[in-house]
Amino acid sequence: MKIAVLASDPDLYSNRRLIEAGEQRGHEVHFIAIKNCYMDITARKPEIHYRGGEILKRFDAVIPRIRPAVTFYGTAVLRQFEMQGSYILNGPIAITRARDKLRTMQMLCDSNDIDIPRTGFANSPLDTKDLINIVGGAPVIIKLLEGTQGRGVVLAETNKAAESVINAFKSLHANILVQEFIKESKGVDLRCFVIGDKVVASMERHAAEGEFRANIHLGGTGHKVKITPKERKMAVAAAKVVGLKVSGVDLIRSDHGPMVLEVNSAPGLEGVEGATEKDIAGLMIEHIEKQVEKRRTKKKKVAA
């Protein structure tokens, strides 16, 4: 197969591992820099041009690894590959959904198989006190809708502090969510790596000392963990609701059972491969092989 890894940094661990895994399985794998792509949007002949004059011919599959900062342009390029008939590992619509924390939470709260922390959203600082009360009062978590990897997430331990932070964000015209703080989690969450309809790996992440966020990028540590059937079912259901074929679903254990914190469309491989010693990149390539073969078989049947 001819596979494209559509991303920004060829030296990033996850991108290198995907290229290595694809090549080890006998595939031709190309790194395609998102910002080097430009599009010829012509009726019945969509083309993708690459800086330097090359026209990118059709790939059998595309693995999108789109950074939040280039979501708009990255998903536009991805749609162009989709129109050319490539199998897309995570589609542009699903990626856009996952990047919008508010939309994701709204979608998740409509599923009977998923629980989430109490979450509030409002447009005006005039509603700040009501917003804090919606989630049960301080301590509360305040999240920027555009934040990633734990950045743009603040713990406010009193109502007064929460009001100050919310109003400061609002004065900058930033959109935020306010969530209840699950204190019994004690700085620990679960990262479940979902491929297709299966959790292929899971790790327990512990926040660094003095930190409430368990993200590896913020100094957290990851350890292999065995999750419960309910947690497994919830992680798969969350990925399915958002529409992602591959995702990192973050769960938290509360006194009332597991809750979904976030669904990531381009989860990093380094932490989970290191913690679980599993070849996650290889499993992603294996999933692509099966899906592309299914499409080929279906086309042959239609042609016959």
Which tens digit of pLDDT belongs to each residue from 13-43? Answer: 999 999 999 999 999 999 999 999 999 988 7
Q: Which amino acid is at 258?
A: P
pLDDT in tens, 178-188: 999 988 887 78
pLDDT at 58 over 90: no
Average pLDDT of the segment spanning 239-244 = 97
Contacts of 116 (CB under 8 A, 6+ apart): 105, 108, 109, 259, 260, 261
Specify the CATH number for 97-113+185-265; select among 3.30.470.20, 3.30.930.10, 1.10.3720.10, 3.20.20.70: 3.30.470.20
Q: Of 40, 24, 30, nearest to 7 (Cα)?
A: 30
Vertex 113 angle, CA 107 and 117, to 5°:
60
Give span(s): CATH 3.40.50.20, the chain: 2-89
pLDDT at 245 over 60: yes
- Work out the end-to-end distance of the chain between its first and last CA atoms, rounded to an integer number of angstroms: 23
For the chain, percent of residues with pLDDT exceeding 70:
92
Contacts of 303 (CB under 8 A, 6+ apart): none
Confidence at residue 174, expressed as pLDDT on a 0 to 100 scale: 83
Give span(s): CATH 3.30.470.20, the chain: 97-113+185-265
Instruction: Provide DSSP, 228-294.
Output: PHHHHHHHHHHHHHHT-SEEEEEEEEETTEEEEEEEESS--SHHHHHHH---HHHHHHHHHHHHHHH
For the chain, percent of residues with pLDDT exceeding 90:
64
Give span(s): CATH 3.30.1490.20, the chain: 119-181
Q: Which two tokens stand for residue 61?
A: 């599959």
Residue 162: count of CB within 10 angstroms of its CB: 25
Pair type for strands 2-7 and 28-33: parallel
pLDDT at 96 over 70: yes
CATH fold group of domain 119-181: Dna Ligase; domain 1 (3.30.1490)
Residue 124: count of CB within 10 angstroms of its CB: 8
pTM of the full predicted structure? Answer: 0.88
Average pLDDT of the segment spanning 78-104 = 94
What is the chain's mean pLDDT, rounded?
90
Q: Of 247, 262, 228, 237, nearest to 113 (Cα)?
A: 237
pLDDT in tens, 280-302: 999 999 999 999 999 888 877 77
Q: State residue 63 phi and psi, 5-degree precision.
A: -105, 105
137: left (phi over 0), alpha (psi -120 to 50) or beta: left
Confidence at residue 214, expressed as pLDDT on a 0 to 100 scale: 53
Confidence at residue 217, expressed as pLDDT on a 0 to 100 scale: 54
What number does CATH give the domain 2-89? 3.40.50.20
Average pLDDT of the segment spanning 263-277 = 94
